[in-house]
Structure 1
Amino acid sequence: MTTKEIHGTVAEGFDAVRDEFAAFVASERDDYEGQLCAYVHGRRVVDLWTGDGADATSLYGVYSSTKGAAHLVVALLVQDGTLELDRKVTYYWPEFSAEGKANLTLRDLVTHRAGLIGLDTGFSLDELADDRMIAERLADQRPFWRPGTAFGYHALVIGALAGEVARRATGRTLQELFEERVRAPYALDFHLGLPQPLEPRFRSAQPMLPTPKQQAVLDAAPTGPHTLTSIAFNAHVPNPGEFTDFANSRTVRAKGQTSAGGVASARGLAGMYAAAISEMNDRPPLLKPDTAAEVGQIHSIGYDLVTRTHRSYGLGFQATADTWYPFLGAGAFGHSGAPGSQAFADPRSGLAYGYTRRRFAYPGGAAPENERFVRAAHKATLAT
């Protein structure tokens, strides 16, 4: 049992969230380290953390929660009229037409329907850190299913694909657009490219430590070097290494790969979604109501060919209510990450949520404890 101290504050009416966080921490290993943050209508109502040497400004590799930042930029470009979802990708990126991809639309691309989940030969770590390299190599790759006919999680490449479309349309990378339009104006601790001076705040990712029973489940899972799952997670290359190597690479953190290379605190995750749907810092919401409704509208739902589970996606974002927390409002959108991170916006209630943890949680993706934290935060939000 841990004796770790819980730090931070909650607003009046949100004590149950602190209670749930404290109860979870008490049941966890002594080395548990995590942060929890929530906003309601742009006001921070939960700001909690625990762990030796950690504080509210500690930064973590948030893996696929990064996709939320990438897709927020895409949504802003669609809102501006710079990108059109139903145009063919080749309108912006002519080289993409190779190997039967000529008719794929941007809408299909960002909803995981391209079938372009990875390379036959895989990527090196340096290649996987570089969005431009990923896009260049995938332009010549034959899709792993007929584009538009099915969907599967483009785990490590979707940010690079969408980012190349954005770069062709604007002359700016997704990293540059995120910095200029989202991170800097709100001073968010969410970085697509971690500056060297902030490196001391980064907490290295720690590997999953499942129980023997959990490990038996993992060992029994269907695997193989050439499955769609292996290709999508670049596990089919020789000596793929540990998944924690990705966030723990300075090259990855410096380049801010937009599918999984982001670095953030829980404040940064929750703050980004709060800015997306609520007035903050005397600024209007980043997304107009119609845009927020469209990004949260389910576009791909059912059997995911890569994860082999039921999944739901809006425009790049996960459809958070259907995928994770059915008690949330329809149209909630966000993205989880491999270590257990979770972040989303629920426009109907005004709740924006962010969670980080240092050690990967079993079984990967949104950590199970999020359900109790989100439920308590949502209940308190409805009561305020």
Structure 2
Amino acid sequence: MTQGIHGTVAAGFEPVREEFAAFVAGELPDYEGQLCAYVHGRRVVDLWAGEGCEPDSLYGVFSSTKGAAHLVVALLVQEGTLEPDRKVTYYWPEFGAEGKGGVTLRDLLSHRAGLVGLDAGFTPAEMADDRAMAERLADQRPFWRPGTAFGYHALVIGALTGEVVRRATGRTLQEVWEERIRAPHGLDFHLGLPEELEPRYRSVQPMAPTPDQQAVLDSVPTGPHTLASIAFNTHVPGAGELADYPNSRAVRAGGPASAGGVAAARGLAGMYAAAISEVNERPPLLKPDTIAEVGQIHSTGYDLVSRTHKSFGLGFQAVSDTWYPFLGAGSFGHSGAGGSQAFADPRSGLAYGYTRRRCAYPGGAAPENERLVRAVHGAALADAESA
């Protein structure tokens, strides 16, 4: 066992353990995190490190939750229950207020609806309740003409698409996730954490940014009325820090589908493995045409909220454009503000999941993911060549 590192890797994936160990050696004693990967449905990396970290420890994964939410949507699209090019009002008539009547489900999933938050903001109780958020968002005027641009619907997209799921199926998105994906596949990824699993939750810890990272943060426009402050609900007095969001029991219990999920790395990677591969003799959740559609880029370029270049597929981030250009075209997944990362690369059969306890700066996937993803992907390609 490499010092400070626990777990196993399959033959040929030893370079991944070495890369993880090299990173952790520079981070201890404060580091705590997990790394897991599957290739064609076979778990090939299962590593963890840090005092108190176990393979079944659960972490707040922030926006990596959107991957679970939109896997539910993809499954319902595949079955014909939802149709991406139908107007949202077909499922949810009240949504059409204030000029939103022409918004399609595809617009919503690709962050083109312009409905990133509320002028008046949300209360902490509402932020833990997708249905409460959706009810208020239905009456909000969009912040740009829908379809003309895109911007990250950071804290609301799960409530919006979740309400469409509820209207179409009579079940909440969280219930569909639990009944059709999480429980059958035994995934340690919870949109609504049962009380009995609370002892496994590891409270998210903030981390001060380095001087270079602080310079990045300082370059982002702030203020009480910016699009970014509305999207992240920071224009509301007493809204609290984003880092504390999953530390609320109300959030963990409700499992809001934008950012309220808790998971182990095994759960993150296992979800994407189940999406694209046969796992434990269960067929893939998604068919090839569905995999191609959710991974196809729908919005790319200047994101009005983050003021950076981003690319989105159908509810997912376009991972090979947004994060790791060496991955196969059509890779799809989602990162989280605390540093988590999770995705599927259908071309290589890779499914990847990473968690950490301390928040990363300046946000989104922690920087170490680049070296870890590169190591896992390289080992997966070498394994395929030797087969």
Query: Do the structures match in fold with TM over 0.5?
Result: yes
1:180-259 mapped onto 2 (5 Å cutoff):
180-259=179-258
- The answer on whether the counterparts of 2:216 and 2:362 sit within 8 Å (CA) in structure 1 is no
Q: Would you say 1:118 and 2:125 are equivalent positions?
A: no
Tell me the CA shift for residue 282 of structure 1. Answer: 1.1
Q: Over residues 210-262 of structure 1, what are the superposed CA-to-partner deviations in whole Å (9 max), with x where a residue is unaligned? A: 12343243234321111111100001001222212211000000000000000
- The answer on whether the counterparts of 2:3 and 2:21 sit within 8 Å (CA) in structure 1 is no
Tell me the CA shift for residue 120 of structure 1. Answer: 0.3
Where does structure 1 differ by over 6 angstroms across 4 or more consecutive aligned residues?
none
Q: Over residues 267-288 of structure 1, what are the superposed CA-to-partner deviations in whole Å (9 max), with x where a residue is unaligned? A: 0000000000000121110000
Q: Over residues 164-204 of structure 1, what are the superposed CA-to-partner deviations in whole Å (9 max), with x where a residue is unaligned? A: 01100000000000001110011000000000000000000
- The answer on whether the counterparts of 1:113 and 1:149 sit within 8 Å (CA) in structure 2 is yes
1:42-53 mapped onto 2 (5 Å cutoff):
42-53=41-52
- The answer on whether the counterparts of 1:20 and 1:376 sit within 8 Å (CA) in structure 2 is yes
- The answer on whether the counterparts of 1:63 and 1:261 sit within 8 Å (CA) in structure 2 is yes
What CA distance in whole angstroms lies between the structure 1 residues aligned with 2:219 and 2:109? 32
Tell me the CA shift for residue 29 of structure 1. Answer: 4.4
What CA distance in whole angstroms lies between the structure 2 residues aligned with 1:299 and 1:80? 21
What CA distance in whole angstroms lies between the structure 1 residues aligned with 2:216 and 2:306? 15
What CA distance in whole angstroms lies between the structure 1 residues aligned with 2:221 and 2:83? 39
What CA distance in whole angstroms lies between the structure 2 residues aligned with 1:199 and 1:260? 18
| Counterpart position of 2:175 | 176
Q: Would you say 1:314 and 2:324 are equivalent positions?
A: no
What CA distance in whole angstroms lies between the structure 2 residues aligned with 1:197 and 1:32? 26
Letter of the structure 2 residue corresponding to residue 131 of structure 1: D
| Counterpart position of 1:284 | 283
What CA distance in whole angstroms lies between the structure 1 residues aligned with 2:243 and 2:363? 12
| Counterpart position of 1:158 | 157
1:293-372 mapped onto 2 (5 Å cutoff):
293-372=292-371
What CA distance in whole angstroms lies between the structure 2 residues aligned with 1:216 and 1:319? 27
What CA distance in whole angstroms lies between the structure 1 residues aligned with 2:212 and 2:87? 47
What CA distance in whole angstroms lies between the structure 2 residues aligned with 1:372 and 1:218? 23
- The answer on whether the counterparts of 1:4 and 1:30 sit within 8 Å (CA) in structure 2 is no
What are the ranges of 5 or more consecutive residues in structure 2 without an aligned counterpart?
A: none
- The answer on whether the counterparts of 2:114 and 2:150 sit within 8 Å (CA) in structure 1 is yes
SS at match of 2:216: helix
What CA distance in whole angstroms lies between the structure 2 residues aligned with 1:378 and 1:229? 33
Q: Over residues 270-322 of structure 1, what are the superposed CA-to-partner deviations in whole Å (9 max), with x where a residue is unaligned? A: 00000000001211100000000000000000000001100000001000000
Letter of the structure 2 residue corresponding to residue 24 of structure 1: F
What CA distance in whole angstroms lies between the structure 2 residues aligned with 1:378 and 1:217? 29
What are the ranges of 5 or more consecutive residues in structure 1 without an aligned counterpart?
A: none
SS at match of 1:65: helix
- Deviating more after overlay: 255-264 vs 216-225: 216-225
What CA distance in whole angstroms lies between the structure 2 residues aligned with 1:58 and 1:29? 18
Relative distance call for 1:29 and 1:236 in structure 2 (3 A) is farther
| Counterpart position of 1:104 | 103
- The answer on whether the counterparts of 1:4 and 1:50 sit within 8 Å (CA) in structure 2 is no
Letter of the structure 2 residue corresponding to residue 88 of structure 1: K
SS at match of 2:81: coil
Identical columns (%): 80
What CA distance in whole angstroms lies between the structure 2 residues aligned with 1:230 and 1:214? 19
- The answer on whether the counterparts of 1:270 and 1:353 sit within 8 Å (CA) in structure 2 is yes
What CA distance in whole angstroms lies between the structure 2 residues aligned with 1:217 and 1:376? 27
- The answer on whether the counterparts of 1:125 and 1:246 sit within 8 Å (CA) in structure 2 is no
1:50-61 mapped onto 2 (5 Å cutoff):
50-61=49-60
> What is the RMSD computed on CA atoms of the aligned residues?
1.0
Q: Over residues 33-62 of structure 1, what are the superposed CA-to-partner deviations in whole Å (9 max), with x where a residue is unaligned? A: 000000000000000001111110000000
- The answer on whether the counterparts of 2:28 and 2:50 sit within 8 Å (CA) in structure 1 is no
What CA distance in whole angstroms lies between the structure 1 residues aligned with 2:215 and 2:100? 40
What CA distance in whole angstroms lies between the structure 1 residues aligned with 2:181 and 2:100? 32
1:17-96 mapped onto 2 (5 Å cutoff):
17-96=16-95
- The answer on whether the counterparts of 1:166 and 1:174 sit within 8 Å (CA) in structure 2 is yes
What CA distance in whole angstroms lies between the structure 1 residues aligned with 2:186 and 2:117? 34
What CA distance in whole angstroms lies between the structure 2 residues aligned with 1:25 and 1:216? 25
What CA distance in whole angstroms lies between the structure 2 residues aligned with 1:350 and 1:95? 41
Letter of the structure 2 residue corresponding to residue 25 of structure 1: V
SS at match of 2:164: helix
Letter of the structure 2 residue corresponding to residue 225 of structure 1: P
- The answer on whether the counterparts of 1:4 and 1:25 sit within 8 Å (CA) in structure 2 is no
- Deviating more after overlay: 257-266 vs 219-228: 219-228
